[in-house]
A and B are shown apart, each in its own frame.
Chain A
Amino acid sequence: MSSLPDTFDPYDDATQPAMNIEHYAETWVRVPKQPLFRRPVTLTEITGPTRLAAKLRPGDNDLAHPYPDKPRAMGQLITVSGRVQDEDGRPVRGTVIELWHANCNGRYIHPMDANNPNPLDPHFVGSGRVTTDDEGRYEFLTIKPGAYPYPNHPTRWWRPPHIHMSIFGDGFMSRLVTQMFFPGDPLNDVDLILQSVPDPAARARMVARQIPMAEMPVLNVMGFEHDIVVRGHRQTPFGQ
């Protein structure tokens, strides 16, 4: 067998979000009522696409200044960088990361956000895609997203600035879609999405770390480091 992860335990519910959230209306009609079935893990779950880079054509890691002949996007320039690792702490190499977020006004480039009264920014692309390097590292240059209101319920709340990330990992069972939050934002404490994760330590791991200013190579760019762990570990030698 290979050196890739071959064991994928069910997630610990304390470290993953609740599926049903009282004031998040979309959960009411989309979360199954029947309990989920446990299935054995077989080859089909411990494998996954290895050639996504050919299909998805990554290479866009500059959301803030995507058109060299035009001005850069409005907003605070930031880098978002980090490592993708498996549960054994080994780097997940060559995996595709997709990232998308609102502009500095809290508006997405998306038909679903067409009625947002805040303006679009013609110089902001809103999304990017890269593959991790041999150490599992990734880096994006972008702008800090604005907060936006969750609109649908009488008990509305502000969604704190956040960045959506989609990571494939080495197999079907390591697939992860998550959100990254910014340290110190008071809106983090009232966000029903972030707060739906019961374990405080697991919530803290969804919040990026600000890189000290002195360590940043460019004066006007704020750096955020965000490491990601995807599911999967190797069987211990005495495990079978």
Chain B
Amino acid sequence: MTRLIPTASGTVGPFFPPHFFRPGDNDLTVIAPGAPAAAGRRIHVFGHIYEAGRVPRWNSIIEIWQADAGGRFAHPNDPRAAEADPHFMGWGRRASEDDGYFDFITVMPGGYDDPVSGARRAPHINLSVTGSGLMRRLTTTLFFPGEPGNDADPVLGAIGDPALRARLVLGTAASPRVSHGLAAYSIDIVLQGDGETPFFVD
């Protein structure tokens, strides 16, 4: 069978329409405004994104994708999709603000036995960054502090240096903006320079 070649990526540029963002786009716990909420422990995940020289990078577009509280995906490629939480969106999007701030409301993702690799995946959140100056998206994966499964996770384990792995583990600082009354987890995304975030081949 002939294989088609994926279309080339191009930078999102600086002009992604602001009105493409609506309130709630960064809330993974509902599939539509006003819909019932997902099961699980609601959490607030926030961070700041920086370019070289620790300059806050505003107008970046951050997208995340994760499993539900039971470690399932409401997607046909998951053999357990029928058991997935029908109220969990799993996806969210947000533009970073002037100081690089971004945040999401979600539920604590479950770990799962991965049917593709055979490995056990620790709870994690996939994150991608697009924006001007990025001809392709950058992708990385965020992990939770104190999770015993982190050491055996095959994606976190793909990074040899423990100091670099630590950059993908969320902290537990409170958000400077808003508390939502939820447990808060924080991350710095550093595109380039000191403390640079490890990114994965997309």
Contacts and interface: CB of A to CB of B under 8 A. Distances in A.
Contact of A111 (B18, B66, B135, B155): B18
Contacts of A51: 31-32, 74, 89
B5 interface: yes
Mostly, the A contact residues are loop
Given A29-B52, A110-B18, A47 B75 contact: yes
A18 B141 CA distance: 23
B134 A30 contact: yes
A41 B116 contact: yes
A44 B73 contact: yes
Interface string A1-38: 11110100011100111110100111111111110111
B32 A55 contact: yes
Given A29-B55, A36-B201, A164-B13, A16 B136 contact: yes
A59 interface: no
A32 B138 contact: yes
A203 interface: yes
Contacts of A209: none
Contacts of A140: none
Contacts of A129: 20
A91 B116 CA distance: 24
A212 interface: no
B1 interface: yes
Most A CB within 10 A of own CB, among B74, B136, B200: B136
B34 to A, nearest CB: 11
B96 to A, nearest CB: 12
Contact of B154 (A15, A42, A87): A42
Interface residues of B, number: 80
B119 A40 contact: yes
B97 interface: no
A112 B73 contact: no
A193 B134 CA distance: 11
A30 B51 contact: yes
Of B6, B24, B31, B117, chain A has the most CB atoms within 10 Å of the CB of: B6
Contacts of A34: 196, 198
B104 interface: no
Contact of A47 (B32, B51, B73): B73
A223 interface: no
B131 interface: yes
Interface string B1-35: 11111111111111111111010110000011001
B10 A179 contact: yes
Given A37-B199, A50-B76, A86-B4, 9 more contacts: A26-B133, A28-B52, A31-B192, A40-B119, A40-B154, A49-B65, A51-B74, A110-B16, A206-B8
Interface of B: 1-20, 22, 24-25, 31-32, 35, 51-53, 55, 57, 59, 63, 65-67, 73-79, 89-91, 112, 114-117, 119, 121, 124, 126, 128, 130-138, 141, 154-155, 158-159, 191-193, 196-202
